[in-house]
Structure 1
Amino acid sequence: MSETEVTTAPRPLLLADGRPAARTWSLDPALKHLNHGSFGAVPLVAQERQELLRVEMERSPVVWFPALPQRIAATRVQLAAFLHVTADDLALVPNASAGASVVYAALSRRRGGEIVVTDHGYGAVTMGAERLARRWGGRVRTARVPLDADEDQAYEAVAAEIGQATDLVVVDQITSATARRMPVERIGAEARRRGIPVLVDGAHAPGLLAAPLADATYDFWVGNLHKWGCAPRGTAALVARGSLRDRLHPLIDSWGAADPYPDRFDQQGTIDATAYLAAPTALDFVDRTWGWPTARRYMNDMADYGAHVIGTAFAELTGTDCRVDVGLPVPGMRLVRLPGGLAASRVEADALRDRVARELGVEAAFTSFGGTGYLRLSAHVYNTSADYEYFAEECVPALGEWARTAREQHRAP
């Protein structure tokens, strides 16, 4: 929950000509889109910019590719300004997981080969940490952080797993499955004090947080610009500071391999880099149309309202309180507890996502943590109160029936 629950529908954001915000996206109007956080959504103006760039690339590839590193370098300057970092610290990568893989490939075992993660970590990034630990002949230590843990409790849970054998700490800035913050500032400072590298997974942070790297202590930070920033998919930032950044190389060696960090990331052979080049168009669109502070406030209020409306509907259906006490809530994302029998595991949560889209016409995120299933709401400027009211009226009864059926099947001999 947020600190102040929004129970009144926020007034929708409009375009300058009075049209709904959703008119500048190509989202299917036959579906309700309540899951911006998974894959984002690209506004039409950024789609059009990327298509123009692709046309340019295909019209003269021999001119395009030699000039591409310089264009990417100029784009990095624009994206670095959005994140409030220096362009010399920022490399562009396809997504946050790719950035984490770059870091894993660069590091070597120095102590005992142990990597500290949390039980809220994004699955793909945690799997990469496990593979690195196997390569080192070490192991992964998992900090167990209760969903309702406050800053002190979350910090202490992670710090307790850091020891003499720790070679790397990996921690989410905003957790994907549980929509909460982790105290990366304090965790990073403690790891720095012990001389241990820190990788901050900020996949959800760009656009959702005004300045996600402002107070963080880290060696490496990765964040997706194609989520809340609405950039074309395949656009993420890898920000590195300190001496270890000189070890970072793209996952594919190319002709820029001898260049310093981050320039060596600007030359990647024949990859389609139009997503990178079109990213500033998406960021500028939100800024010029509403302003990012206004957009963030709206997303937060809309997620709050959605959680209230849907949580109330579930409570009336089941007779139980479906509100979720998240220790460090984040803007724009909320959890609603699902009835028992639904989404008890990640596999079940993904299957429920697919079924709800197929049968109920709603794109929604379902997650699992500690054997409990949740609906994870993640709002953007194109959402309106009607989206969540529809879910409460049409989807909650169906989910209640699906949960009852699942429990009966589980009890059957």
Structure 2
Amino acid sequence: MHSTATTSALAEARAHFAAPAGYLAACTQGLPLRETLAASRAELDAWEGGTVTPAFYGDAVERSRSAFARLVGVPANRVAIGSQVSVLVSIAAASAPDGAEVVCVDGDFTSMIYPFLAQAHRGITVVHAPLDRLAEAIGPRTWLVAFSLVQSATGQIADVDAVLAAADRTGARTLADLTQAAGWLPVDASRFDATICHAYKWLCAPRGSAFLTVGDRMLDELRPVQAGWFAGDDPWTSCYGPSIHLAQDARRFDVSPAWPVWPGTAAALEFFAGLDIASVRDHVVGLGDELCARLGIPRLGQAIVTWPDADCTDLTALTAAGIRASGRAGRTRVAFHLWNTPADLDLLVDALPSRPRND
């Protein structure tokens, strides 16, 4: 049970969203905060009026970088910015030594797998392991284990302690995708050699802002293969060749920002960096476990709940009831976030009258 103070804080946080009833799709796309909408609209107005400058956008990028660093527990100088998960994973893939072995999760989101498969011409091999046997698949040949902390298709949470212990024994590097975790699950990115996160899901930012964190070991091993002017030690003096002085910290991996998304991203991340994420986790896991109980399936301790629905019967019923859910890998998928309440849970269960329920 939440304390009165925690319940009040969560209610106050929910007031920052104008969420419609039955929106259970944070794992597909987050909803904007009122502050994000205001910042994005102000940017459009300023753009229309010809008053925005690169420095204005640069400030939004640095605010976002700092807020994300606070959220995941690393210094801001260990955070690089980008646009998509696959773009940032490609940095690690291009940096793998010729002939290296990379261990991935069987069925993980393709952005965590395809960049490594694309390196087959250099002898890079990808080993696919079930999530519950990921640690066992890490061996003496493994250069990197790359996995989503929370699986997109099922919401299953990786056994981080087991994976890190196996990687430590063999010397393998670790790359964790935080896209389905950051924003509801407390995360310490400093435990991994590198992490990647797209902010448009649980962090409720505009699509097109993503982050890479880099630890000590990987800082010099990763190649800045996508370096442009924004990766310079001073971006504003790195706009023209013939040479560039790259930043000495993680900013050397920065991808030139898509300007309009960053003011809204800064507003969203500053909001989440100020939350008690453990309380958010307890709230969403509580709703998820109650749904499991009512559906007669094991409690999962997850924000994402899925169940088999190969013919989309359940997903069709939810959609007809005005509930926003999704279907992945032959399963119906729902996600509980900060804005959801027991009323959303009741709406969901009532839309599935044919399913067994324990209520």
Normalising to structure 1: TM-score of the pair? 0.70
Closer, same or farther: CA 191–365 of 1 in aligned 2, 3 Å: same
SS in 2 for 1:221: strand
Uncovered stretches (5+) of structure 2, i.e. residues with no partner: 233-243
- Shift in Å, 1:117: 1.2
Partner of 2:182: 206
- Distance in 1 (alpha carbons) for counterparts of 2:226 and 2:48: 25
Of 53, 57, 77, 1:64 maps to: 53
Give yes or no for the alignment of 1:122 onto 2:97.
Answer: no
Cross-structure match for 2:345: 388
Assess, with a 3 A threshold, how the Cα gap between structure 1 residues 186 and 295 changes in structure 2: closer, same or farther.
closer
Partner amino acid, structure 2, of 1:202: L
Of 201, 216, 231, 1:256 maps to 231
Asked if residue 295 in structure 1 is aligned to residue 280 in structure 2, the reply is: yes
Would the aligned equivalents of 2:319 and 2:325 in 1 still touch at CA under 8 Å? Answer: no
The one-letter amino acid paired with 1:91 is A
Match of 1:220 in 2: 194
User: What SS is found at the alignment partner of 1:101?
Assistant: helix
In structure 2, what is the Cα distance between the partners aligned to 1:287 and 1:65?
25
Provide the rounded CA distance (Å) in 2 between the counterparts of 1:14 and 1:188: 33
> Is the contact between residue 229 and residue 282 of structure 1 (CA under 8 Å) also seen in structure 2?
yes
CA RMSD of aligned residues (A): 3.5
Q: 1:65 to 1:121 in 2, by over 3 A?
A: same
Query: Are the equivalent residues in 2 in contact too, given 1:250–1:264 (CA < 8 A)?
Result: no
Give 1:364 deviation, angstroms. Answer: 0.9
Q: How does 1:265-280 map to 2 (within 5 A)?
A: 265-266=253-254, 268=256, 271-280=257-266
What one-letter code is carried by the residue in structure 2 that aligns with 1:102? I
Deviates more, 1:296-305 or 1:271-280: 271-280
In structure 1, distance between residues paired with 2:226 and 2:352: 43
* 2:113 corresponds to 1:113: no
Contact 2:29–2:202 (Cα < 8 Å) also in 1: no
2:37 paired with 1:47: yes
Inter-partner Cα distance in structure 2 for 1:86 and 1:229: 19
- Give the alignment of 1:310-349 within 5 angstroms: 311-312=295-296, 323-324=297-298, 326=300, 329-330=301-302, 332-335=303-306, 337-338=307-308, 342-343=309-310
Deviation at 1:226, TM superposition (A): 2.6
List aligned pairs for 1:12-411, cutoff 5 A.
15=11, 21=14, 24-28=16-20, 32-60=22-50, 64-65=53-54, 68-69=57-58, 71-109=60-98, 112-132=99-119, 134-145=120-131, 154=132, 157-213=133-189, 216=191, 218-246=192-220, 247-249=222-224, 251=226, 253-254=228-229, 256=231, 258=244, 259-260=246-247, 261-266=249-254, 268=256, 271-285=257-271, 291-309=276-294, 311-312=295-296, 323-324=297-298, 326=300, 329-330=301-302, 332-335=303-306, 337-338=307-308, 342-343=309-310, 355=316, 359-368=320-329, 373-397=330-354
Shift of residue 13, structure 1, vs aligned partner: 7.9
Do the aligned partners of 2:199 and 2:205 also contact (CA within 8 Å) in 1?
yes
> What is the distance in 1 between the residues matched to 2:167 and 2:148?
15
Distance 1:360 1:70, change over 3 A: closer
> How far is 1:27 from its partner?
4.4
Q: Distance in 2 between matches of 1:196 and 1:292?
A: 30
Residues 303, 387 of structure 1: CA spacing in aligned structure 2 closer, same or farther, 3 A cutoff? same
Between the two proteins, what is the percent identity of the paired residues? Answer: 20
Q: Any conservation in 2 of the 1:172–1:184 contact (CA below 8 Å)?
A: no
Q: Which amino acid is 2:325 matched to?
A: A
Q: Secondary structure at the residue paired with 2:187?
A: coil
Counterpart amino acid of 2:304? M
Once residues 41 and 254 of structure 2 are traced to their aligned partners in structure 1, the CA distance between those partners, rounded to angstroms, is 20
CA distance in 2, matches of 1:299, 1:97: 28
Quote the Cα distance in structure 1 between the aligned partners of 2:230 and 2:83.
19
Q: Give the paired residue count.
A: 339
